[in-house]
Amino acid sequence: MARKVLVLGEVRDGALRNVSFEALSAGKVISEGGEVVGVLVGKSVSALGQEFIQYGASRVVVVEHAELAQYTSDGYSQALLAVIEEEKPEGLVFGHTALGKDLSPRIAGKLNSGLISDATAIEVAGGNVVFTRPIYSGKAFEKKIVTEGLIFATVRPNNIPALPKDESLSGEVNSLTVDIKDLRTIIKEVVRKASEGVDLSEAKVVIAGGRGVKSEEGFKPLKELATVLGGAVGASRGACDAEYCDYSLQIGQTGKVVTPDLYIACGISGAIQHLAGMSNSKVIVAINKDPEANIFKVADYGIVGDLFEVVPLLTEEFKKLKI
């Protein structure tokens, strides 16, 4: 059954986030040959419309407003609900990002719809669109179908491959005027945490440090390895609690969920709450002095040793490969 599906593109620092292209790819599956319409919300975002089309949107609807320069649940939900009212889609897809996690339940509530959050795979099987999503902190997966009404899902970054960009594609980018009003939250100023390099939740390589790094200084060799591999640095809560690094790096049940191609855990014991945030990484390498550490149970490759010896050796070897 062909469906019209709306896919929200997420813009950060003037560019579409990769998860938006993955959401488009999910939207294509849900549409079953129907129309996939991209939606861009913000202040000056229409210039990104053609790129969204090159990744698979049939056309793009843009809602621009000065009050949408920064994300607020109030402003974005007003914009999205207006587009939904206009387009009357049968499917809706957001990225399972901080923005998507905040906005999707609100939109689902307003529409009196269900929501399949954090989908890691989508397929059409037995005449249904079947979603796979983690349960019990990633220890198991469930399959879900929607039997009636809107098919609304958020997709976990780095799980559903984006379609390749086709620069020969072009299409309509239309504006929808929405009166954004009665905002209960006004963002006066955004103070960015100084973060270097690659975005942790979308990184293909994550080098994570635990209490075993022993100090803020101890993260230095991890940062060097991350730089050589074009990856991001993450951390266990143990490392964050010990003030070796900022909480924005925390991975796990109460931190970020990451699914990179390569996860290197350095001096992390592998508590269940940490595994909840990284156990679905494609390849896991664990470096730990303790051969009995729990992290080795989920690791594809284990190195029993001192991280301060092993990590610099890895960095030197990867440098030789000129990745």
Interface residues with ligand FAD (CB under 6 A) are: 210-212, 236-239, 250-255, 267-269, 271, 273-274, 277, 287-290, 293, 306-308
Map tokens 């320069």 to a residue: 69
Task: For residue 258, give the nearest of 201, 208, 298, 205 by alpha carbon.
Answer: 201
Min separation Cβ 295 and ligand FAD, Å = 7
Min separation Cβ 244 and ligand FAD, Å = 9
Min separation Cβ 307 and ligand FAD, Å = 4
Which one, 56 or 255, has the nearer CB to ligand FAD?
A: 255
Which one, 4 or 214, has the nearer CB to ligand FAD?
A: 214
What is the C-alpha to C-alpha distance for residues 281 and 84, in angstroms, rounded to an integer?
34
Min separation Cβ 137 and ligand FAD, Å = 9
Task: For residue 25, give the nearest of 41, 14, 36, 34 by alpha carbon.
Answer: 36
Phi and psi at 189, nearest 5°, equal -160, 140
Which one, 165 or 289, has the nearer CB to ligand FAD?
A: 289
DSSP 34-53: S-EEEEEEESS-GGGHHHHH
Min separation Cβ 17 and ligand FAD, Å = 22
Task: For residue 83, give the nearest of 44, 127, 38 by alpha carbon.
Answer: 38
Which one, 172 or 243, has the nearer CB to ligand FAD?
A: 243
Query: Does residue 93 come out as left (phi exceeding 0), alpha (psi in the -120 to 50 range) or beta?
Result: beta
Task: For residue 26, give the nearest of 118, 149, 115, 122 by alpha carbon.
Answer: 122
What is the C-alpha to C-alpha distance for residues 42 and 64, in angstroms, rounded to an integer?
5
Which one, 60 or 251, has the nearer CB to ligand FAD?
A: 251
Min separation Cβ 181 and ligand FAD, Å = 38
Which one, 57 or 239, has the nearer CB to ligand FAD?
A: 239
